[in-house]
Structure 1
């Protein structure tokens, strides 16, 4: 078990972790692999709102043409990964995309099984531990209880290990957690972050709404009957305005999801506000691969983009631990809580919390949208 204060480049740049709820107030491109066995159509300029391309160029320095190539590539990669993960079963150890090389990597404890037409152009990676084994280690960390001096744990898929992130110099607490959980030390890497997570609080995704006339959050995605958002924004029974509604279900901590049933007369729109005078239509909720471009919409900082770093991350907020989150390089600030995360036109999650801000950058975590839909038996409103 090693200790390092400098993360590898793919995981750098964390600052203060916070839930994105605030008080009430007035790259590089990658070429598309040839011979696509998955048959995913290329993404063209007509498929992607201009504001999304503008935001990718602003936040990631990616020219528009390269961004379109990358979005086509990652759409194809998501289809390949889904098929291969099912075929690999309990030997599957995760997948990621390489932004520079334009390659898809699929890890397995039995890499010889990464084969068939869908594996054309895919790099098979031998892994010591399956993704299920790594997530089981994380579950044991959760069971042991993340102390206040531990910010988060997550699975670093390319490294095939679990990362436990301590707050500041409190690395002893992280090491003690690993020991208390009784997990293999060689499967865990300790790192640190300067600041602890906290909450942010401040029917089109990304728009503001208000809770009990006291705080502001952002709409995640329209669903039949209302919208989904972050659980820390409001408890079950809390009332909302703009639009008028009621929290019919809410889970936080442990999870960070909720759904709000809105009053009749509110129009539910299968789209997300791009904060440039337009909207991005939501076409589905297929999970993107690690390394994929994603963009977030929120009522404080608008439309911001970054990449996926990890899935099934556990984060220790002041209110308790939240597990199963998506870790990204997208920035966010108070009031963005609950807002939409998209990969192209595919819904990914709702904003939970993070570190840093949109002036200096940071890390933001998202509750996966498919888990929310399953928890409450909801269906996305599609554009």
Structure 2
């Protein structure tokens, strides 16, 4: 079972745009980080927490990923984060849900169903005290501006460079139809949401570089994940 994102070992500039595929090398899974504080519920009230795109979640005690987008009854994320049956806890380490499906090989997406303590919201956490509303899932064109919300590096924006990018991993898995952007990403952000103009675009599956020196990142189109699992995007 593949855990954590797989990083490209040899990628020169825009080579992936020119060649049909690039070979990626494995990348160690992100270690669990200290959780954000979760306040106690009001006296006599059951604790309820929001499921928001861009928030950290944990798989066991040693790995962390990011919520992509909220859907009815849960959220979508990246398949290397977990397999069907794996339990998750939220940013506050409160028991959250379980992976219902995880497609590897496939399109690289995954679906987590949450328990009654968590409520899916049609927003993305910008990690600056504000939230970005998710209005729909209309694909943005190549050249459009887009932003990624990751719990390691926060809110970063750039440009959609291409659609239909292809990456082949060492286990022979090839992911096609990926969205390539000029947005940086770093460990711990696998599954992070990509948004453009309030429209959900995709879920982070792959990147090169970092946010100190720059890099590129790749996303599974949100429509592919919703269609595969028969899910409905939660919107504001």
TM range (shorter): 0.7 to 0.9
Which residue does 2:185 correspond to in 1? 332
Deviation at 1:321, TM superposition (A): 2.3
CA distance change for structure 1 residues 371 and 332 in 2, over 3 Å: closer, same or farther?
same
| Pick aligned residue for 2:67 from 208, 219, 240 | 219
Deviation at 1:253, TM superposition (A): 3.4
Deviation at 1:322, TM superposition (A): 1.8
CA deviation profile, 1:227-281 (whole Å, cap 9, x unmatched):
0000111111111011511100101234210010001121211000011101001
Matched, 1:234 2:82: yes
User: 2 CA distance for matches of 1:314 and 1:165?
Assistant: 5
Unaligned runs of 5+ in 1: 1-18, 22-147, 157-161, 168-195
Matched, 1:257 2:109: yes
What is the TM-score with the length of structure 2 in the denominator? 0.80
User: 1 CA distance for matches of 2:231 and 2:22?
Assistant: 36
Deviation at 1:149, TM superposition (A): 7.1
User: 1 CA distance for matches of 2:99 and 2:120?
Assistant: 16
Contact 2:21 2:168 in 1 (8 A): no
Which residue does 1:36 correspond to in 2? none
More strand by share: 2
CA deviation profile, 1:4-52 (whole Å, cap 9, x unmatched):
xxxxxxxxxxxxxxx648xxxxxxxxxxxxxxxxxxxxxxxxxxxxxxx
CA distance change for structure 1 residues 281 and 197 in 2, over 3 Å: closer, same or farther?
farther
Structure index of larger Rg: 1
Query: Match of 1:270, SS?
Result: strand
Matched, 1:321 2:174: yes
Contact 1:150 1:316 in 2 (8 A): no
CA distance change for structure 1 residues 164 and 262 in 2, over 3 Å: closer, same or farther?
same
Which residue does 1:381 correspond to in 2? 234
What is the TM-score with the length of structure 1 in the denominator? 0.50
Which residue does 2:100 correspond to in 1? 248
Deviation at 1:201, TM superposition (A): 4.0
Give the number of equivalent residue pairs. 206
Deviation at 1:214, TM superposition (A): 2.1
Query: Match of 2:227, SS?
Result: helix
Q: Which runs of 4+ in 1 moved over 6 A?
A: 148-153
State which drifts further: 367-376 or 196-205: 196-205
Contact 2:73 2:119 in 1 (8 A): no
Deviation at 1:164, TM superposition (A): 4.0
Which residue does 1:343 correspond to in 2? 196
Matched, 1:163 2:19: yes
CA distance change for structure 1 residues 309 and 231 in 2, over 3 Å: closer, same or farther?
same
Deviation at 1:318, TM superposition (A): 3.3
Deviation at 1:309, TM superposition (A): 0.9
User: 2 CA distance for matches of 1:224 and 1:211?
Assistant: 21
Q: For residues 110-129 of structure 1, what are the structure 2 equivalents within 5 Å?
A: none
Q: For residues 128-143 of structure 1, what are the structure 2 equivalents within 5 Å?
A: none
Unaligned runs of 5+ in 2: 31-50
More helix by share: 1
Instruction: Kindly report the root-mean-square deviation, in angstroms, between the aligned alpha carbons of the 2 structures.
Output: 2.4
Contact 2:168 2:174 in 1 (8 A): yes
